[in-house]
Amino acid sequence: MKVFLMYRDQDFDAARELPPTADALTQDLEMNTLLRAMAAEDQFLYTIVEKALLSSLHNPNAIRYRQEILRDCLENEDVIRKLYQLTIETGQQQKRGWLGIFSSYPSGILNSAVQMLDLFVTQLRQLRALADEHASRFQSEGLKRFFAMLAQELDDDYFALLDAHLKTLRFRNGVLLSACLGQGNEGTNILLHRPRGDRWLWLRQLLAGATTSSGFSVHPRDEHGARALSDLRDRGLNLVANAAAQSADHIKSFFQTLRIELAFYVGCLNLREQLVRLGGPIAFPVPAACGERKHTFTGLYDVCLALTVGGRVVGSDMNADAKELILITGANQGGKSTFLRSIGLAQLMMQCGLFVPAESFSASCCNGLFTHFRREEDSSMESGKLDEELGRTSEIVSLVTKDSLVLFNESFAATNEKEGAEIASQIVSALLERGIKVFFVTHMYGFARSFYDQDRQNALFLRAERQADGTRTYRMIEGTPLQTSYGPDLYERVFGTRIQH
């Protein structure tokens, strides 16, 4: 019985470590805001959606599998939340009853396992009941399969068989074992048997002194002997205790997996609720394969910014199909960083199966997403800062692969422009040559201009829009790099006087 709501053919591994890029992504994209909205105060949800967002899928098919399930969830929010509740209750009951396997002796293990199995069988019956009631409302491959599996695997006959075993496992009539002679003639490979035919024939044979068997009795006051005998019995029960305990663990982990995988969708439900309240549009993205170069959207906005300001924010349009380098220059405070963050967030959201904050969105998957943002509050000397930036670049270089996506934000500006431009050109050229897609927000005119002059077919140049009167629209438009970043504008607005040339 597999949950398989996150992948068609595997469980979602909640214990998996976050990728090495996780910290940089979280910081640069300000992901905490998004994660908090999805978690809605639930720490467990937080960790799961964080894992899901940071452990991207790379295959459009796998993404569509989750998208379909998510659509089902958006339609049937009540059932999904009820199922999620059942998984939480199961965990709580187990805790409340102090149920768990703490003994290290097979007889103790067996005892605890049988108690846990008793509880789980009750919960499984409830799960079956939920399935019987609602299964017909679901359309997605994943949820249809899940409900069909419950109906088929947990039928009434099976529950009867479970009950019978739970009774036998108490061994009220002694045990029958068999063994081989192992190294040093020590009994080994001990198995537990169900006696054939006349269940306790062996005992009568013993009493009758039959020739095919022999035996003895341990004196009741021989304490060592009694312990030895119970050790031997334990060795015989070892496998069956293990089987029962592992079964209990498996069912426990079935409920846990169900909880983990539903948590992701519950997180998505929470996010929808918030965005609907803010009036922000959401769209299911159209994913394309890694090697393709698709990147086109309308009305894409920074979901974290929207959640922070608590209202609608300006969205951007872009058509960057077939492009591998997107260079963004232009006005200070023109929304370039916001734009870059929205690119990164949308990519992560798409690649975990979520909807994206846009009117429409279509993009190829990337093999890995990397961000290299200028860290502003850095009190160290400028040279130390460049050192730090290049150190982070090196970390990216050590992880990046073909068809990855790297977002640079004002990188390498911590030195004079000529040197910074040279370093940036070398890095970007090499990354492009290795089939890595690059977004680069920069003030370095020389750097942007040199790529513009190369007349590359695969490069797109965007500018933060600035109207003739100097006001900013926070939209990105296509355009050649301009020599000034309109810093004077900012100066004038802040100082309220004209700048002197």
Partner 1 sequence: MAFGSMLCGVAGEQYVPERADPPPFFLDLNLDQVVDAITLAKEEYDLRPILYHQLSDVHTIHYRQAVMRDLENPCLLEHVRAFAEGMIVVRRYLQLVDKLRFAHHQHGWFLEAVLAYCENVVSLVEALRRTDLRSRGFREFREYLGGYAEGSYFRSLAEEATRLKAALSSIRYTIGIKGFHVSVGKYNDEPDYSAEVEQTFAKFRQGAVKDYRSNLRAASGMNHVEAQILDCVAKLYPDIFSGLSSFDEYYRGRFVDGAIRTFDREIQFYVAYLEFIAPIKQAGLEFCYPEITTRKNIHSHQGFDIALAHKLVAENSTVVCNDFYLEGGERVLVISGPNQGGKTTFARAFGQLHYLATIGYPVPGSKARLFLHDRILTHFEREENIRNLRGKLQDDLVRIHRALEQSTPNSILIMNEIFSSTTLQDAILLGKNVMSRIQELDCFCVWVTFVDELASMSKTVSMVSTVNPENPVLRTYKILRRPADGLAYALSIADRHHVTYEQILERVKP
**Which of residues 88 and 206 has its CB atom nearest to partner 1 in the complex?**
206
Calculate the CA 131 to chain-centre distance. Answer: 26
Per CB under 8 A, 263 contacts partner 1: no
**Which of residues 52 and 192 has its CB atom nearest to partner 1 in the complex?**
192
Among 148, 226, 309, 499, indicate the residue that binds partner 1 (CB under 8 A): 226
Per CB under 8 A, 416 contacts partner 1: no
Per CB under 8 A, 498 contacts partner 1: no
Per CB under 8 A, 305 contacts partner 1: no
- The least CB distance from residue 110 to partner 1, in Å, is 9
Question: What is the C-alpha separation between 389 and 13, in angstroms, rounded?
Answer: 33
First to last CA, the chain: 74
**Which of residues 260 and 303 has its CB atom nearest to partner 1 in the complex?**
260
Among 213, 319, 454, 484, indicate the residue that binds partner 1 (CB under 8 A): 213
Per CB under 8 A, 206 contacts partner 1: yes
Per CB under 8 A, 220 contacts partner 1: yes
**Which of residues 22 and 203 has its CB atom nearest to partner 1 in the complex?**
203
CB 304 within 8 A of CB 439: no
Question: What is the C-alpha separation between 337 and 343, in angstroms, rounded?
Answer: 10
Among 136, 217, 457, 483, indicate the residue that binds partner 1 (CB under 8 A): 217
Which x/- pattern, by CB under 8 A, does the window 152-171 give for partner 1? Answer: -x-------xx--x---x--
* Furthest C-alpha separation in the chain: 118
Cα dihedral value 43, 85, 65, 154, nearest 10:
140
Indicate the length of the chain as a whole number.
Answer: 501
Per CB under 8 A, 118 contacts partner 1: no
CB 144 within 8 A of CB 138: yes
Q: Which of residues 43-82 bind partner 1 (CB under 8 A)?
A: none
Among 80, 101, 131, 476, indicate the residue that binds partner 1 (CB under 8 A): 101
DSSP tag of 470: S
152: tokens are 């088929």
Give one DSSP letter per residue of 58-95, joined into a string. Answer: --HHHHHHHHHHHHHHHH-HHHHHHHHHHHHHHHHHHH
CB 269 within 8 A of CB 74: yes
**Which of residues 2 and 277 has its CB atom nearest to partner 1 in the complex?**
2
Q: Which of residues 424-453 bind partner 1 (CB under 8 A)?
A: 426-427, 429-431, 433-436
Question: What is the C-alpha separation between 120 and 89, in angstroms, rounded?
Answer: 11
Among 225, 299, 446, 488, indicate the residue that binds partner 1 (CB under 8 A): 225
Per CB under 8 A, 482 contacts partner 1: no
DSSP tag of 235: H
Q: Which of residues 228-257 bind partner 1 (CB under 8 A)?
A: 228-229, 231-236, 238-247, 249-251, 253-254, 257
Per CB under 8 A, 417 contacts partner 1: no
Q: Can you give 185-203 as a three-state secondary structure string?
A: HCEEEEEEECCCCCCCHHH
Question: Pairing relation of β-strands 295-300 and 316-319?
Answer: antiparallel
- The least CB distance from residue 255 to partner 1, in Å, is 10
Q: Which of residues 171-200 bind partner 1 (CB under 8 A)?
A: 173-181, 183-187, 191-196, 200
